[in-house]
Structure 1
């Protein structure tokens, strides 16, 4: 396959909430996803209030582009956990610097989406917003590496 590149533009930005990315304690973090009003009419969010959760695609904008780790390494550089390749991680050190988060939708106020548990910081460019449909959740048995359960024990614990 030939190399392919493309550009995307933000549909929104995160306002408020956390200002620094951290590994844990995202629980209870509240922020606003402010949709770009010059690109979307007021009715772009119509009907969204019927959903409890959103799936949000964003760009890790604060990451050092030279801090790319495509090969295998231990998550959070913890020697007690096995080295896994980049596609076994969910961190920011990725070729396209994309993140995906599922967050609780608290309320819709025009083009402002008030959310909780979004693990993106103030100023983060949002590339897409979708309502969460349970039918798009995993089907069949779900399995996950044991080290990841240990690593994420405090990920959505209440913000400290």
Structure 2
């Protein structure tokens, strides 16, 4: 069966199927279910989709994290928190602990390490342009306390010295 034929039967495009085959995208479980039905493969593709979607980053961000290394430009608006690519380890740890108050120390450290690992793209030869718009509230939210925020703000100012990083602050209007 061609990609186009499978796509037609699974209600998507053949090029979308091709992205899965080339490991450029991760299929959603519901699409995998449909492809299992079309191909008669039991639940094989559903299991593979669940494994492929297993990620060290939060599920809501897994798709974006998988695409980040391919990006030429990353634009983001942050109304409340410092975006992950700009976070210090201490800020990420404080934020992760707050969001997961009953999590084990190992789990918190795994999430923090994953966030820090994502930042490696800023140092690569093919680093994307990163354009971050932070609402002024981001600078005032005391995540982790005064020392953590001080280091976080200093870190952002250092990142802004890079040629491919732009950080703009949207002020309160009043």
Q: Which has the higher strand share?
A: 1
TM-score of the pair, normalised by structure 2: 0.23
Structure 1 or 2: more helix by fraction: 2
